[in-house]
Amino acid sequence: MIDRLSVWERSKSLLVFYVFENHEEFKLFRDSLDEVLIDSSIKRLKVIILIRDPKESVLKHSLFAYFCEKDIAVFGNKIKKRSKNDGGEDLDIIRGTQFDLFLCFGCFSSKVLKWLTLINATKKIGINSEENSFFDMNLKSSNGFTDKSVIFTIEMLNKII
C-alpha cells in the first residue's frame, strides 16, 4: 500500500513571506514557525519579510531577507537594492529559486503582489491575504494573531493530500 502524504509532509523546501507589523508579533510568528518546523520534512527554508518602515530595526539572520515596498523597481519585477540582511541572498535570486511550498502571511499592495507573482513554487498558499488567483489556495484564520495562523495553516496543510 502506498502512503499518501499531505502537502505539508511532502514539502522539502519552504519559502515564507511575512508582512512585518511589530516586533512582538514577529517574535510570536518566528516561535510558531520554529515549532512547526521541528517535526517537519523541510530541509531548505527562506523567509522574506516585507517591512512597512524602511527605518525599522530588524533581526539580522541568514534565513531572513527584508525589503520594503519602495525597494521594488517601477515595473515591479526587480528589487532595486540588495536585501537589508547583510548575510542574506539577493531577493530576486530567492524569488527565482524553486520551492515546494510558498506560504504568504498578510495583506500587501498590488505592487508587492506583482513582484510575488514571479515566485517559483509548486504550491502557493495565501494566509489572511487578499483573494487572488496567484495562490493555489487562500486560507482565512478567524484568529487575528499571526502565530496562531501559522499553526492553523500547518493543520490545514496536513489534511490536504
How many domains does the chain contain in total?
1
The parent domain of residue 142 ranges over: 7-159
**Confidence class for position 16, pLDDT limits 50, 70, 90:** very high
What confidence score (pLDDT) does residue 13 get? 97
What confidence score (pLDDT) does residue 65 get? 87
- pLDDT for 123-161, tens place per residue? 999 998 887 888 999 998 776 667 788 989 999 999 988
Q: Which residue has the higher pLDDT, 151 or 11?
A: 11
In DSSP notation, the chain reads -PPPPPHHHH-SEEEEEEE---HHHHHHHHHHHHHHHHTS---EEEEEEE-S-TT------TTEEEE-GGGB-TTSSSBSS--S-TTSPPHHHHHHS-EEEEEEES---HHHHHHHTT--EEEEEEESS---TTSSEEE--SS--HHHHHHHHHHHHHH--
Assigned domain for 66 exists: yes
What confidence score (pLDDT) does residue 1 get? 44
Q: Does the pLDDT value for residue 58 go beyond 50?
A: yes
Assigned domain for 1 exists: no
Assigned domain for 151 exists: yes
What confidence score (pLDDT) does residue 91 get? 82
**Confidence class for position 7, pLDDT limits 50, 70, 90:** very high
Assigned domain for 2 exists: no
Q: Does the pLDDT value for residue 94 go beyond 60?
A: yes
What confidence score (pLDDT) does residue 54 get? 72
The model's pTM is 0.89
Assigned domain for 74 exists: yes
Q: Which residue has the higher pLDDT, 2 or 136?
A: 136
Which grid cell sits at 149? 495562523
Assigned domain for 75 exists: yes
Assigned domain for 119 exists: yes
Assigned domain for 138 exists: yes
Q: Does the pLDDT value for residue 10 go beyond 70?
A: yes
The CATH number of whichever domain residue 73 belongs to comes to 3.40.50
